[in-house]
């Protein structure tokens, strides 16, 4: 079983930056594909970014490309989401998610919440203008 705990959310002005962290429990972190999703009020949960457990492959939704960076530190069992040039549209609850260890999946599946086996509780990010 994997436990995920997000931190780093808060209130920032438009144009500012935040770094979200996700701490994972267990011994299989290095074999977990990790993703970030977000959910704004009145909207469905949407994919933000993903980093595979092998190969250093990352994915981003178009609206955050060039602004957000996903990374991981396997020694610390953490995944990060560095968010720059934040916009009001980025306001949402951000969720960390993990794919089960050693699971094989194509790039298209990384965008689907159903791929993920573990979810954190979420952390609020609010961007003011």
Closest CA to 95 of 4, 1, 3: 4
pLDDT attached to residue 55:
66
Q: How far apart are CA 104 and CA 47, in angstroms?
A: 19
What's the rounded Cα separation, in Å, for the pair 76 and 114?
A: 26
**List of the chain residues with pLDDT < 50:** none
pLDDT for 53: 86
**What pLDDT, on a 0 to 100 scale, did the predictor assign at position 14?**
98
Instruction: Please report the pLDDT score of residue 22 as a whole number.
Output: 98
**Looking at residue 54, what is its pLDDT?**
78
Q: What is the model's pLDDT at position 26? A: 86
Question: Are the beta carbons of 51 and 70 closer than 8 angstroms?
Answer: yes
pLDDT, residue 127, reads 98
Q: What is the pLDDT of residue 84?
A: 98
């Amino acid at each position: 079983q994997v436990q995920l705990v997000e931190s780093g959310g808060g209130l920032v002005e438009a144009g500012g930056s935040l770094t979200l962290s996700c701490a994972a429990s267990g011994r299989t972190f290095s074999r977990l594909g990790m993703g970030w999703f977000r959910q704004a009020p009145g909207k469905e949960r949407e994919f933000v970014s993903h980093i595979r457990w092998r190969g250093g492959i990352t994915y981003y939704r178009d609206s955050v490309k060039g602004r957000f960076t996903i990374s991981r530190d396997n020694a610390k069992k953490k995944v990060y989401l560095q968010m720059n040039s934040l916009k009001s549209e980025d306001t949402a609850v951000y969720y960390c998610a993990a794919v089960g260890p050693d699971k094989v999946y194509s790039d298209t599946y990384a965008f689907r919440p159903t791929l993920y086996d573990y979810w954190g509780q979420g952390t609020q990010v609010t961007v003011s203008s």
